[in-house]
Amino acid sequence: MPMLHLNQIRFYSLMLVVGVVTGCGAIFFRELIGLLHNLLFYGQLSSHYDVLQHAAPSRWGAGIVLVPVLAAVIVAFLIKNYAPEARGTGVPAVIYAVYYENERIRPMAGIIKALASSLSIGSGGSIGREGPIIQMGGALGSALGEAFKLADWQRMTLIACGASGGIAAMFNTPMGGLLFAIEILLPEISARTIIPVSIATAVSTYMTYFLYGDVPLIPVDASVIAHISAYTAVSYSFLGMIVGLAAAFFIRGIYLIEEAFEKLPDNYYFRHMAGMFLVGLSMYFMLKVFGHYYIQGLGYATIMDVMTSTLTDPYFLIFLAALKLLSTGLTLGSGGSGGIFSPLLFIGAALGGGFAEVYKLVFPGEMSMNLQLGAVAGMAGMVGASTGAPLTAIIMTAELTNDMRIVLPLMMMVAIAYGVRRTLIKESIYTYRLTRKGSHVPDTWRSQPL
pLDDT above 50: residue 319: yes
Rounded mean pLDDT, 1-6: 58
pLDDT of residue 261: 92
Report the alpha-carbon distance of residue 18 to residue 20 in Å, rounded: 6
pLDDT above 70: residue 193: yes
Rounded mean pLDDT, 152-163: 92
Match domain 8-212 to its CATH number in 3.40.50.300, 1.25.40.10, 3.90.1110.10, 1.10.3080.10.
1.10.3080.10
The fold of 222-436 is: Clc chloride channel (1.10.3080)
Packing angle of the helix pair 233-262, 314-333 (nearest 10 deg): 30
pLDDT of residue 365: 67
Q: Boundaries of CATH 1.10.3080.10 in the chain? A: 8-212, 222-436
pLDDT of residue 264: 84
Among 188-202, 273-287, 402-416, name the one with the lowest average pLDDT: 402-416
Instruction: Please list the residues that pair with 188 across neighbouring strands.
Output: 446
For the chain, the distance separating the N- and C-terminal CA atoms, rounded to the nearest angstrom, is 18
pLDDT of residue 229: 63
Residues 4-13 as b/e (b if ≥16 CB within 10 A, e otherwise) read eeeeeeebee
pLDDT of residue 2: 52
**Contacts for 378 with CB less than 8 Å, ≥ 6 apart:** 239, 243, 347, 348, 349, 350, 351, 352, 353, 355, 413
Top mean-pLDDT range of 74-78, 141-145, 212-216: 74-78
pLDDT band for 442, please (50, 70, 90 cuts): low
State whether the Cα torsion 225-327-256-76 is positive or negative: negative
pLDDT band for 447, please (50, 70, 90 cuts): very low
User: HEC states along the chain?
Assistant: CCCCCHHHHHHHHHHHHHHHHHHHHHHHHHHHHHHHHHHHHHCCCCCCCCCCCCCCCCCCHHHHHHHHHHHHHHHHHHHHHHCHHHCECCHHHHHHHHHHCCCCCCHHHHHHHHHHHHHHHHCCCCCECHHHHHHHHHHHHHHHHHHCCCCHHHHHHHHHHHHHHHHHHHHCCHHHHHHHHHHHHCCEECHHHHHHHHHHHHHHHHHHHHHHCCCCCCCCCHHHCCCCCCCCHHHHHHHHHHHHHHHHHHHHHHHHHHHHHHCCCCCHHHHHHHHHHHHHHHHHHHHHHHCCCCCCCCCHHHHHHHHCCCCCCHHHHHHHHHHHHHHHHHHHHCCCECECHHHHHHHHHHHHHHHHHHHHHHCCHHHCCCHHHHHHHHHHHHHHHHHCCHHHHHHHHHHHHCCHHHHHHHHHHHHHHHHHHHHHCCCCCCHHHHHHCCCCCCCCCEECCC
Residue 225, sorted as left (phi over 0), alpha (psi -120 to 50) or beta, turns out to be beta
**What does the pLDDT look like over 250-291, one tens digit per residue?**
999 998 999 999 888 878 899 999 999 999 999 999 999 999
Residues 373-386 as b/e (b if ≥16 CB within 10 A, e otherwise) read bbbbbbbbbbbbbb
Residues 258-297 as b/e (b if ≥16 CB within 10 A, e otherwise) read beebeeeeeebebbbbbbbbbbbbbbbebbeeeebbbbbb
pLDDT of residue 227: 57
